[in-house]
A and B are shown apart, each in its own frame.
Chain A
Amino acid sequence: MTTHTIPYAAGLGERGLLRLATAGSVDDGKSTLVGRLLHDTKSVLSDQLAAVERVSRDRGLTAADLALLTDGLRAEREQGITIDVAYRYFATATRSFVLADCPGHVQYTRNTVTGSSTADVLVLLVDARKGVLEQTRRHLAVAALLRVPHVVVAVNKIDLVGFAQDVFERVEAEVQSVARDLGVAEAQAIPVSALDGDNIVDRSTRTPWYTGPALLELLEALPPSEDVRAESFRLPVQLVIRPQGAAVSEEHREYRGYAGAVASGVIRLGDEVVVLPSGQRSRVVGIDLGSESLSEAFAPQSVTLRLADEIDISRGDIIAAAEGAPEPTQDIEAVVCWLGDAALRPGQRLLLKHGARTVQAFVRSLDGVLDLDDLHAVSAESLSLNDIGCVTLRLAAPVPVEDYAVSRRGGSFLLIDSHDGRTLAAGMVGATLPSAPPAPVAPEGDEDFDI
């Protein structure tokens, strides 16, 4: 590989990558906000902007409708809504951003789950005139469950309430209260007008009472994504690489490597590792990235490990740090976001994918579903589309899962329909739902004793 010797032009230096997802109810102005972010960070090129201006004019609008930058499907443009996650890219001097613009309609909640699962930051839009709605609760619940490291609340359309401080503070308090109940670590609120650009890239003069950062300032200042490098080392083996055939050069005839993406932690040459679920131990003697040999690798690099001993390792196994490796188990308690059209019921058989392993599973019991009105678990017979519930699963083979709270990678799984292959649920091992507040205890009275 080459090392750069030429100085980069401005804006071409190596930047970190931050993934953000948007959420909020229909008509909260998400697409407009995203369009505004792209436009104001100069990420919109002139031909894209020209197309938006042309379409806006054709529709008799007086100003360019920035939502058109992201609503790419015909039905979206016809209905003025966002149907599916759109991925957008923009960059500032210090950061590159991958933005998943997620629709607000309840039937597309699975897209919010999709966007949140990889997000470092969730930007949740709330309409200043409407405050917290069911979708706001749902999206905060998703953010809490999926443990999105940061939540930012954009209180939008602040221009429509006359830039009123008391309205903003009321909405902020309401959101914070729901966030607290759901266990969201932090939810910083910003008053914005996506339409006019107030507090998006630059601080607005129209909200003098607000002294915090503009949205982009905050996004640039957030600490870098969850540092999975600090967790214990894990590498789910995707492939065993054993070159065969005439084309393989002499020096690689004996090559045997275990290819995968480092899910968490750091691995160095000489480190002791354990293979799960077999429990066999060995030592790392080689780390390859393509034809390049490394002395260390860390999450999320895709590498190939070579070990000192010829042990039996196959796709789906996990190579882990020798100390503190998780116990493989066939019984899992988890919270799932149900994304299937047909309901989930106890006794159902499906497939579970964790890391690079897929095993058969069945639903032992359904232990509760999140009630979005009072934000705690209630009992249920089945889980419907978009429900969030607790389940107990039995697996056909032991899998070394970890608590999602400890490791986003080690604790996440998919449930898959074994007949048609559809993804039915996003699962988080060991997660729990808020239980009902304890009923008030009756005051102690005189106790009657039978004599």
Chain B
Amino acid sequence: MTVTEVPSPARDQTLRADASPAAYSTPEREPARRLTQLDALEAESIQVIREIAAELERPALLFSGGKDSVVMLHLAVKAFWPAPIPFPVLHVDTGHNFPEVLAYRDETVERLGLRLEVASVQDYIDDGRLRERADGTRNPLQTIPLLDAINEHRFGGVFGGGRRDEEKARAKERIVSLRDEFGQWDPKNQRPELWNLYNPRHRPGEHVRVFPISNWTELDIWRYIEREDMPLAPLYYAHERDVFQRDGMWLAVGPVSQPREGETVERRVVRYRTVGDMSCTGAVDSPAATNAEIVAEVAASTLTERGATRADDRISEAAMEDRKKEGYF
């Protein structure tokens, strides 16, 4: 909705239901309305993106084609309009991504005229710099290609789509998060982050990870996607797919995820709440085929998106924290 739109009476009541008229004097120049929660989140994110782009010489934005990075890119377009986004996008490709997400990634990059850098886990495995893990999951293998890409391109900072509501260790993150030359995060030694003054300065060799959408919840993301009428990769919407059940999740049948003994393949109508590796990202039974239907579904869900869909977060109580400390997000 436009900011200048004067709210309808019904809407005005929701906007002001909590306002006590006596609480503050009405200035002569009172604007037509207060900022809604989504507008406030958008404003904060754009401010962060602009500030870091201005302060750092060479930032990059991590773009996987997933919903959070799509929202982040959309905010970046708004931040610099009508000028193009002044930094490249970087994707750490595990080699286990869904092909339709990679296709969406490439279309988006093309449409916005961005430069895409890809750091490929597969290349590292092929030439022996990394070894495949016994459990087959590649998420923990992303750290080294990411750090190498940061060093190679001398990125002073990278924008990531991490959100504090995703997981308990992420809830401890700052918007601007300092990493040492090993990419490590020290939760006990984080920078104070005061008012809305962001400080990304660091020593050579260090870099910062910046999370402009820290304060958004999964529901905020979907409401924004709906409001801004953004199309996402098709697997976020209900579709028919061959899946089998493992660890209480529906896994897709694909090159890196085949059913084992006793796991039967079914064709079901599913969608994905998060998009990661095919080997460990589960689909959920869902008929939601539009942004509006997904908003309603997410609002009613009793499971977190990661709890419902990510096997790699279940490894241990502190799985995410360990990977963050190692330099992964």
Contact = CB atoms under 8 A, between A and B. Distances in A.
A19 to B, nearest CB: 9
B43 interface: yes
Contact of A266 (B31, B228, B302): B31
Interface string A284-322: 000011111011111011101000000000010000000
A113 B50 contact: no
Contact of B227 (A4, A73, A260): A4
Contacts of B165: 88-89
A48 interface: yes
Nearest to B200: A421
Contacts of B296: 9, 12
B299 A11 contact: yes
Given A55-B317, A230-B25, A416-B199, A224 B168 contact: no
A356 interface: yes
A289 B229 CA distance: 16
Interface in B4-47: 4-5, 11, 14-15, 17-20, 23-25, 27, 29-32, 34-44, 46-47
B215 A87 contact: yes
A13 B194 contact: no
Given A45-B304, A315-B54, A16 B2 contact: no
A270 interface: no
* Majority DSSP secondary structure for residues of B touching A: loop
A85 B170 CA distance: 11
Interface stretch (B79-87, B91-99, B121-129, B258-266): B79-87
A356 B54 contact: yes
A428 B84 CA distance: 37
Contacts of B253: none
Contacts of A95: 18
Interface in A78-107: 83-89, 94-96, 98
Interface in B54-107: 54, 77-84
A422 B214 CA distance: 21
A111 interface: yes
A48 B304 contact: yes
A414 B188 CA distance: 21
Interface string B287-311: 0000010011001111110011000
A12 B223 contact: yes
Interface stretch (A123-131, A153-161, A245-253): A245-253
B194 A241 contact: no
A73 B44 contact: no
B46 to A, nearest CB: 4
A77 interface: yes
A290 B76 CA distance: 9
A426 interface: yes
Interface string A31-46: 0000000000000011
A118 B196 contact: yes
A113 B1 contact: no
A197 to B, nearest CB: 20
Interface string A103-137: 00000001101100110000000000000000000
Contacts of A117: 194-195
A356 B11 CA distance: 35
A212 interface: no
Contacts of A15: 14, 36-37
A239 B53 contact: yes
A242 B197 CA distance: 24
Nearest to A3: B1
B321 interface: yes
Given A229-B31, A290-B77, A114 B194 contact: yes
Interface stretch (A163-171, A364-372, A405-413, A429-437): A405-413
A290 B81 contact: yes
Contacts of A86: 164, 168, 171-172
Interface string B314-328: 000110010000000
A288 B303 CA distance: 39
Contact of B169 (A72, A221, A248, A421): A72
B80 to A, nearest CB: 6
A22 to B, nearest CB: 13
Contact of A1 (B18, B20, B54, B227): B227
A302 B82 contact: no
B254 interface: no
Q: Can you list the 3 inter-chain pairs with the closest CB atoms, starting with the nearest?
A: A72-B168, A421-B201, A223-B23
Given A73-B187, A288-B81, A420-B202, 7 more contacts: A2-B229, A70-B168, A87-B171, A227-B24, A239-B50, A242-B83, A260-B47
Interface of A: 1-4, 6, 9, 11-17, 45-48, 51, 55, 69-75, 77, 83-89, 94-96, 98, 110-111, 113-114, 117-118, 220-221, 223-224, 227, 229-230, 238-239, 241-245, 247-249, 252, 255, 259-261, 265-266, 268, 288-292, 294-298, 300-302, 304, 315, 339, 353-356, 408-409, 412-414, 416, 419-423, 426
